[in-house]
């Protein structure tokens, strides 16, 4: 009886989490646009994933160019971006996009990671025609007010722009895998 021919498949990929995080954030935005059902939670998920992608992206680039990885690794996300700006010799204006959105998103990340209780006191005067619609609206915290479809889209767009900026400023030999998730492989007859 003949045994089936065996093949040896070899693959290689350097995993960078920012690709996974940005992809998931984008899917959450698409779902939030498609339906109002669960929109708030989808926007929250997208914003958190985009915020996490900032540091994942900084770590991906930093792993290739940071002069002292041990020091770099201990920095916060915005400090890592400052370090990369110096290392890669590019400047940015904190008041312009995508930097203002990145800064706001980093603050949002900290607020979500380290939430504090907040007493919310709200008083409204409503005309009778609006009373029925607003009767069961709960007052929102500062964190909750930030979670909108527009902010989720702005956050994702800003991190994607950051990815392009960082990739464009990397030396060409260090770009592979940063802008796009890549792998290589081969298949051959097994010996």
Residue 63 has which token pair? Answer: 């792993």
| pLDDT attached to residue 130 | 73
- Under 8 Å between Cβ of 57 and 166: yes
- Whole-number Å distance between alpha carbons of 19 and 10: 22
Phi, psi angles (nearest 5°) of residue 158: -65, -40
Residue 191: pLDDT band by 50, 70, 90 thresholds? Answer: confident
Report pLDDT digits (tens) over 85-98. Answer: 999 999 888 899 99
Instruction: Say what angle helices 99-113 and 149-169 make with each other, to 10 degrees.
Output: 120
Report pLDDT digits (tens) over 37-81. Answer: 999 999 999 999 999 999 999 999 999 999 999 999 999 999 999
| pLDDT attached to residue 94 | 87
| pLDDT attached to residue 109 | 96
| pLDDT attached to residue 171 | 96
**Distances from the Cα of 94 to the Cα of 4, 10, 91, 98, angstroms:** 62, 45, 10, 8
- Whole-number Å distance between alpha carbons of 157 and 169: 19
- Whole-number Å distance between alpha carbons of 50 and 56: 10
| pLDDT attached to residue 46 | 98
Pick the CATH number of 14-174 from 1.20.120, 1.20.1440, 2.60.40, 2.40.50: 1.20.120
- Under 8 Å between Cβ of 14 and 177: yes
| pLDDT attached to residue 122 | 87
187: part of which helix (H) or strand (E)?
strand 184-189
Residue 3: pLDDT band by 50, 70, 90 thresholds? Answer: confident
**What is the value of pTM for the model shown?**
0.89
| pLDDT attached to residue 125 | 82
Indicate the domain borders of the chain: 14-174
Please, where are the H alpha helices in 66-148? 69-73, 77-88, 99-113, 128-134, 142-146
| pLDDT attached to residue 65 | 97
Dihedral of CA atoms 121, 125, 130, 133 in degrees, nearest 10, equals 10
DSSP for residue 117: -
- Whole-number Å distance between alpha carbons of 104 and 106: 5
Report pLDDT digits (tens) over 128-173. Answer: 777 776 667 789 999 999 999 999 999 999 999 999 999 999 999 9
């Amino acid at each position: 009886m003949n045994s089936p021919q065996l093949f040896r498949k070899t693959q290689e990929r350097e995993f960078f989490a920012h690709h996974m995080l940005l992809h998931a954030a984008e899917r959450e935005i698409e779902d939030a646009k498609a339906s109002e059902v669960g929109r708030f939670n989808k926007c929250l998920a997208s914003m958190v994933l985009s915020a996490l992608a900032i540091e994942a992206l900084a770590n991906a680039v930093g792993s290739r160019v940071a002069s002292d990885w041990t020091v770099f690794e201990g920095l916060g996300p915005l400090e890592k971006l400052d370090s990369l700006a110096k290392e890669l010799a590019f400047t940015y204006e904190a008041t312009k996009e995508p930097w203002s959105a990145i800064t706001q998103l980093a603050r949002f990340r900290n607020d979500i990671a380290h939430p504090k209780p907040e007493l919310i006191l709200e008083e409204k005067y409503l005309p009778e025609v609006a009373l029925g619609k607003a009767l069961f609206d709960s007052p929102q915290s500062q964190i909750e007010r930030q979670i909108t479809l527009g902010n989720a889209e702005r956050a994702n767009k800003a991190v994607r722009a950051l990815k392009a900026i960082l990739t464009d400023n990397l030396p060409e030999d260090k770009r592979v895998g940063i802008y796009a998730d890549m792998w290589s492989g081969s298949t051959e007859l097994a010996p």
